[in-house]
Structure 1
Amino acid sequence: MQIKGPGVSLYNQMQAMAQQAQGPQSAQRVQRPEPFGPASVNQSQSDFGVMLKGALDTVNGLQMNARGLASDVENGVEGVTIAQAMIAASKSSIAFDATVQVRNKVVEAYKEIMTMPV
């Protein structure tokens, strides 16, 4: 596919992020001749699970970091400023809010799929 015009850099960024999201496992995957045969394994489910766990671990890490910096400020640890603690708390809050929004969208999509007539 050839992309022309001002969207080229955006397309390149999206391709780079897609490759990065696939991780090092994508180079080791073997293409099977029968895509729906009994020998094929759906890698997208395990990749999504790994990606989701990684995202939740990142949010958890941001929250732990913010909590630690706030504790350091309260205890008067040298080298830790209130500004650093507030920035960490803001990052943590934004990441958590984004996670909640994603969860809400997933639940909404699940409910919509469950109400579809068969």
Structure 2
Amino acid sequence: MKTGMIDASRIEAMISQLKAAATRPENGVKGIHDEVAGGEPAAKVDFASALKASLDQVNGAQKRSEDMTKRFVLGDDSVNLSDVMINSQKASIAFQATVQVRNKLVSAYHDIMNMQV
């Protein structure tokens, strides 16, 4: 086999593995109401705690980005411009996603409040 060629036997083996995985019940993924490996029921997720955890992650990304930017501006040799820009973009995207989620929640709230009972 040449290095640039695709081995047909490897492709067939991968296809058979995918078919075997697809025929397993629920693909081995446990749902929210399923039990975890220890036999105890899975913990229920509270919306408020999940939202707070997400906001904390976004806040942490923004703080890391700001810290890295300050270190770069002060001349820290361990920080390069590409890392600063990548972290800045990650924080920006996370914040934009958070704003979009907030907008959807506000829109849903207004829709519910305008429903006639």
Q: TM exceeds 0.5?
A: yes
- The 1:92–1:12 alpha-carbon spacing in structure 2 relative to 1, beyond 3 Å, is farther
Name the TM-score, length of structure 1 as normaliser. Answer: 0.65
Shift >4 Å, 4+ stretches: 15-19
Q: Which residue of 2 aligns with 1:66?
A: 65
Q: Which residue of 1 aligns with 2:56?
A: 57
- The 1:60–1:17 alpha-carbon spacing in structure 2 relative to 1, beyond 3 Å, is farther
Aligned equivalents of 1:81 and 1:62: distance in 2?
17
How is 1:14-93 mapped onto 2 (pairs within 5 angstroms)? Answer: 15=29, 27=41, 47-93=46-92
- The 1:112–1:84 alpha-carbon spacing in structure 2 relative to 1, beyond 3 Å, is same
Aligned-partner SS, 1:76: coil
The one-letter amino acid paired with 1:89 is S
1:19-75: CA deviations, max 9, x gaps?
8xxxxxx8476xxxxxxxxxxxxx66xx11110000000000000000001001100
The one-letter amino acid paired with 1:86 is M
Q: Which residue of 1 aligns with 2:98?
A: 99
The one-letter amino acid paired with 2:90 is K
> Unmatched 5+ residue regions in structure 2?
1-18, 34-39
Higher RCO (C-alpha 8 Å, min separation 6): 1
Aligned identity (percent) is 40
Aligned positions, number: 89
- Aligned-pair Cα RMSD in Å: 2.9
The one-letter amino acid paired with 2:83 is Q
Bigger radius of gyration among the two:
2
The one-letter amino acid paired with 2:74 is N
> Unmatched 5+ residue regions in structure 1?
20-25, 30-42
